[in-house]
A and B are shown apart, each in its own frame.
Chain A
Amino acid sequence: MNILITGATGFLGGYLVREIAGDFERVYVLSRKGHDDGKFSGLSNVKIIKGDVTNLDVLNMSEDEKKKILDDVDVVVHAAALYDLGASYTDCFLQNVVGTQNILHLLGAMKKLKAFYYISTIAVGDTRTFFLEEDLPARKNFNDNYSETKFLAEKIVRENLSERYVTRILRPGIIIGDSVTENMPKTDGPYYFLEAYKKHKKLLSFLPIALLSFNPRAKLPIIPVDHCARFIALLLKRDEKKVALKTYHLVSSELPTLSEFLKDLNETFGLKTIYIPVKENKVHNSLLKTLGIPEGVLPFMFSRLSYDKTSTLEDLPEIKESTYSSFKHILFNKFKS
């Protein structure tokens, strides 16, 4: 079995290639540059191919070479996306929507293809409802360009199911660092809070009580990057490729509520602040923004969303072991004084 992965040079993609390299005969890694900067140098079956998902002709090579690869691929994982809450709509659209549509067109030319894995995000769902795995409810309002364009991309994937191959949509939660190395290359999700606390620790220490606009019962949908990559690899291995479409919510179990998370924050920074939740309002939202917490994170502060994980628990019972208490050190160790 051979696999083609897009977005392998990204954070999750890199982990994924290393996780699955042993399970596949050949691993084609699509790269805009045509090389991996030595990222996968130890993996002999990884073959870097030059291409760009935003081009009509995704694979940048001769027709013969192209045909050879297209005829060779059994599984495609499309993980390439622009994940940047501050990116422009144009850039997000080009990478996420156009990229996905071009990949779907490329799948049409793959004769042996058996499965298509599309890496979506939990952010495509409306944060006010119970989010079913098999569903993508219509949505018009988005908080950031990333969520909007990922929503459009998943819509395209759902509208283009094929009888020739099965489609799997994976919606990871907010990806945090490696549970072993604690490595996290960028600030994201809960890290914004950690950075903000680090910066304003002194100020916060004078605040015995803080009015904060948040929902104390909102859960933070997080998952460590290595856990996420491992679960995807397990799915790839176990997939019987019988059901045409399956969707998985890849978020860890026993997720922390915002109260729990704030408690851990206090503990990490030696604070005793009591947080009084107030309703979502512009004043407090802008206060959070001045602390350095971007708008894209805000919906998770008030989220009433709960995630359906029926398929995930069925096919990935191991996800139960990925609990907050078992990996919270990834977040806080670095910041402990």
Chain B
Amino acid sequence: MKTILSLSFAQDQYNFDEEIEFFGEVYRVIQYSTNFDVELTIKLIKKYDGQCDVICISGIPQKIKFKKGFFLHPDTYRLKTAAKYTPIVDGQIIKDVYIPYALRLYYLKNPQFFNKKRIGFYSAGLQIPFVEPLSEISSDLVMADPFFLLKMPFNLHSAQSLEKFVKLLSPVLKAMKVQKQFVPDFDNSSIFKSRALDEFLSCDIMVGNEGNINFLSLSHLKGKTLIIDILSEQFEEKLKAAGLKEALVCLPQLSIYPKISYSVLEGIVQIKKGDGEVVKQDDVIKLVEEIKLSPEIKGLNESNDEVVKFGFVIHPLSSRYLFKHPYLKYIKDYSAPLEKITEEVMSYSPGFFYGKISGIVSLKNGRKVEGLIYTVTETPKKLLEAKPDVIYRKILKLCEKADASDVKIMGLGAYTKIVGDAGVTIDRLSPIPVTTGNSLSAASTLWAAKLAVEKLDFVKKKNGQFDGTVMIVGATGSIGAVSAKILGMSWKRVIIVAPRAYKLMELKEDILKINPKVSVELSTDADNFSHECDLIITTTSGAGKTILDIMKVKPGCVICDVSRPFDIKEEEAVKRPDVLVIASGEVTLPGEIDMKMDIGLEGNIVYACLAETALLAMEGKFESFTLSRNINYEKVIEIDRLAREHGVKLSQIMGHNGFITDAEFELCKEHAKKKLKMR
């Protein structure tokens, strides 16, 4: 049996001598914790040099490589060269190869994990394999090396400044002994905190290892995320007690081998290579593939009782709604002559917190979610008139406010997402991720349209496809384009309508790529084809302009009016009892919803874009899911799946005056049949 001597330089009181089976082979692992005692470590190395097969040292300062040259602490050099016969490894080769790979792997699968997060290194110099991959992922890095190593009150913010710092101070660092007495206090309750320490403690994600953190006061880790190379059981308990929220463990696979560290793993690779051979990066790549190593997130203090908050920005749908403002509600009855002036004056007022939606509980994971609703004071008209910068600033102020209230993601409602570049700039400048919610708006529109068409039953299905014509008015818009692509898969004929013909031609090509059999026709005027359509989806930002003459529409047609304010006004809809005008896009959230405010909808029903924000909060997917005008139909399909999983459902189909009952469907059907007979 091969014998491994493991010397844990940064640990205390953890000694064992055990036989460990690792992938079919049994090794005798003898560990001594030497508690930063260089002399003891050297004595043990010399004592067992030639008596064991490999000596593995963990917790020693590792080599810091620069473009030109490297820094190596003299103690590390002494320790690594103390043996004459037995090879000494310290796990650095495994860390150099595996850690950047693990971090990138995790980032590609979970980009939101690092989204807008400030990442803090206790000592980037001692954690060098983490620096490069994290510099690529985030630009908000705080390296507390000056404080950690020399108690100097400033931080470093890039790999370049770290290199300069280490090079400049290398004579001092070399003269310092590696011992825990030098470890400074990271106590967040201290009143004598430097600005640099404050900056470090404000980081969302900390990067460190057991050797760095074990001797610090851990209270500052409460509610934070830690990226760590390996997590031992004892240390996990300690972090849990300190209130750490979660840990991203690079090598969780070793948790079933609690006595194997990076250095012991490298020792095993060394033994397999045989005497006289040196472990190379290729051996590590082979090992990673062989035992399928990958990182894992470990929740330490997460409970379903914790309420996740999301934010949502709305605006008054018309000047009438302005009188719901707490200061103006008293003059509501006399509002008519004041509407115009109020609309003008209120647009100068900043946005504010409007109300709360609570009681949302996911059906998938039981996570409780709460929505904080903010409002800007501009009516749709004012929003379209104003310079985008002004609106951005207003919304960003609300995002900052939301961030301070622990909101994890912000949704943009109705016209606030139409302004400027549809959320892109706001997302870039906001401290929290932002979504327009358009993906679920599109999905729910299609749910409602499909259900309404099925209920009226004028269009027959052939091979799972509606044998009829669908028209999308405003097809080049965000929701319109996606609706057109998705409906193109299930309808025989699609007519796309928008004011700019060249955009329509591009869209036609996209639709044909998805379904080459569909017949696609273009028009810049909805009225040209409205008499042929069985389903019309209007999703424009016409702000009240007439975009469709309802009188020309085919009897029995379903008009799905997604726009807010409506494209089809109520008084127009009344003129055609044989046409069903639905105001889709509204859904219900799972749980017993308590909504103590008026967002212009009844009961538990919420806007689909709001529901998308809530869904992302339920899933814990705090990322800018939908942005800009071009929404991706894959995202629509993904949000459709999430909605089904978490229990977000289509509310009863809504018309201008609330729910459309089955009787109303029947009545419309009757009228349509009569009209069709008359033809």
Contacts and interface: CB of A to CB of B under 8 A. Distances in A.
Interface stretch (B38-46, B478-486, B496-504): B38-46
A105 B39 CA distance: 25
B17 A102 contact: yes
A98 B51 contact: no
A56 B40 contact: no
A63 B556 CA distance: 98
Contacts of B584: none
Given A90-B40, A94-B44, A101 B15 contact: yes
Interface string B402-436: 00000000000000000000000000000000000
A101 B40 contact: no
A156 interface: yes
A24 interface: no
Q: Is the interface of A mostly helix, strand, loop or mixed?
A: helix
Contacts of A54: 47
Nearest to A54: B47
Interface in A67-117: 88-90, 93-94, 97-98, 101-102, 104-105
A56 B37 contact: no
A94 B43 contact: yes
B127 interface: no
Interface residues of A, number: 20
A314 interface: no
Interface string B35-61: 001011001100110011000000000
Contacts of B51: 55-57
B17 A152 contact: no
Contacts of A104: 17
A155 interface: yes
B32 interface: yes
Interface in A225-258: none
A23 B28 CA distance: 36
A11 to B, nearest CB: 25
Contact of A98 (B13, B37, B39, B44): B44
Contact of A56 (B16, B30, B32): B30
A90 B37 CA distance: 8
B47 A152 contact: no
Contacts of B48: 56
A105 B17 contact: yes
A163 interface: no
A156 B15 contact: yes
A89 B3 contact: no
B16 A156 contact: yes
A314 B163 CA distance: 67
Given A55-B51, A94-B43, A101-B30, A152 B15 contact: yes
Contacts, number: 45
A159 interface: yes
A56 B52 contact: yes
Contacts of A105: 17, 28, 30
A104 B30 CA distance: 12
- Which of B15, B28, B48 gathers the greatest number of chain A CB atoms within 10 Å? B15
A56 B40 CA distance: 17
A90 B35 CA distance: 11
A159 B52 CA distance: 23
Contacts of B16: 101, 156, 159-160
Contact of B39 (A90, A102, A155): A90
B43 A155 contact: no
Interface string A101-145: 110110000000000000000000000000000000000000000
B86 to A, nearest CB: 11
A56 B43 contact: no
Interface residues of B, number: 18
Given A56-B30, A98-B32, A90 B15 contact: no
A94 B37 CA distance: 13
Contacts of B47: 54, 94, 98
A160 B13 CA distance: 14
Interface string B13-32: 10111000000000010101
A99 B48 CA distance: 13
A104 B47 CA distance: 18
A89 B37 CA distance: 9
Contacts of B43: 90, 94
A288 to B, nearest CB: 27
Interface in A148-198: 152, 155-156, 159-160
A276 to B, nearest CB: 37
Q: Which of A55, A56, A104, A160 has the most CB of B within 10 A?
A: A56
A102 to B, nearest CB: 7
Nearest to A101: B17
Contacts of A56: 3, 30, 48, 51-52
B42 to A, nearest CB: 9
Nearest to A159: B16
B13 A152 contact: yes
A4 to B, nearest CB: 18
A101 B40 CA distance: 16
A160 B31 CA distance: 14
A102 B43 CA distance: 16
A265 to B, nearest CB: 38
Contacts of B52: 56
A87 to B, nearest CB: 13
Nearest to A139: B13
A150 B274 CA distance: 37
A152 B48 CA distance: 20
A88 B51 CA distance: 24
B307 to A, nearest CB: 37
Nearest to A153: B15
A97 B37 CA distance: 15
Nearest to B50: A56
A27 to B, nearest CB: 26
Kindly name the residue among B3, B37, B40 whose own CB sees the greatest number of chain A CB atoms within 10 A: B40
B237 to A, nearest CB: 13
Contacts of A155: 13, 15
A51 B47 CA distance: 15
Interface of A: 54-57, 88-90, 93-94, 97-98, 101-102, 104-105, 152, 155-156, 159-160
29 contacts: A54-B47, A55-B51, A56-B51, A56-B52, A88-B39, A89-B37, A89-B40, A90-B37, A90-B39, A90-B40, A90-B43, A93-B40, A94-B43, A94-B47, A97-B15, A97-B32, A98-B47, A101-B15, A101-B16, A101-B17, A101-B30, A102-B17, A105-B28, A152-B13, A152-B15, A155-B15, A156-B15, A159-B16, A160-B16
Given A98-B32, A104-B17, 17 more contacts: A56-B30, A56-B48, A56-B52, A88-B39, A89-B40, A90-B43, A93-B34, A93-B40, A94-B43, A94-B44, A94-B47, A97-B32, A98-B44, A101-B15, A105-B17, A156-B15, A160-B16
Interface of B: 3, 13, 15-17, 28, 30, 32, 34, 37, 39-40, 43-44, 47-48, 51-52
Considering the complex of A and B, which 4 residue pairs feature the smallest CB-CB distances, nearest first?
A90-B40, A56-B51, A101-B17, A90-B43
